């Protein structure tokens, strides 16, 4: 993913943007993953997680924080492929979000 902004500069997402949402299950827990894309470029720029059935629980809070951290990393120019190889199990919520992001990025 290339950006014309200097390193360390954040690409802020527009107010309205397309997103893809999927429901997954991991270790017996169901959750949703939404990945938003920049409408101008089509590049993925954010991820949201929500544990189904238990809003406000510890896992829901951790998934929310993971979505914020993942979104900021991508918005600051961290390659999705680097995040995927270094920090995520392919079947974890974050791993699945990164897979969705790669699929959007690669068309």
Beta bridge partners of 32: 23, 50
Q: How far apart are CA 100 and CA 47, in angstroms?
A: 9
> pLDDT band at residue 22, thresholds of 50, 70 and 90?
very high
Please report the pLDDT score of residue 90 as a whole number. 78
Higher pLDDT, 38 or 87: 38
Please report the pLDDT score of residue 93 as a whole number. 86
Q: Is 16's pLDDT higher than 90? A: no
Of the chain, the percentage scoring pLDDT greater than 90 comes to 46
pLDDT 10s digits, 26-73: 888 888 899 999 999 999 999 999 887 666 778 788 889 999 999 999
> pLDDT band at residue 3, thresholds of 50, 70 and 90?
very low
């Amino acid at each position: 993913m290339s950006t014309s902004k200097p390193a360390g500069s954040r690409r802020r997402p527009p107010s309205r943007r397309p997103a893809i949402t999927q429901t997954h299950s991991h270790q017996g827990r169901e959750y949703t993953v939404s990945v938003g894309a920049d409408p101008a470029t089509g590049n993925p720029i954010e991820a949201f997680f929500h544990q189904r059935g238990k809003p406000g629980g510890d896992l829901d809070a951790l998934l929310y924080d993971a979505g914020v951290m993942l979104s900021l990393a991508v918005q600051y120019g961290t390659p999705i492929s680097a995040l995927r190889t270094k920090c995520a199990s392919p079947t974890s919520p974050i791993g699945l979000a990164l897979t969705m992001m790669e699929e959007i990025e690669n068309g």
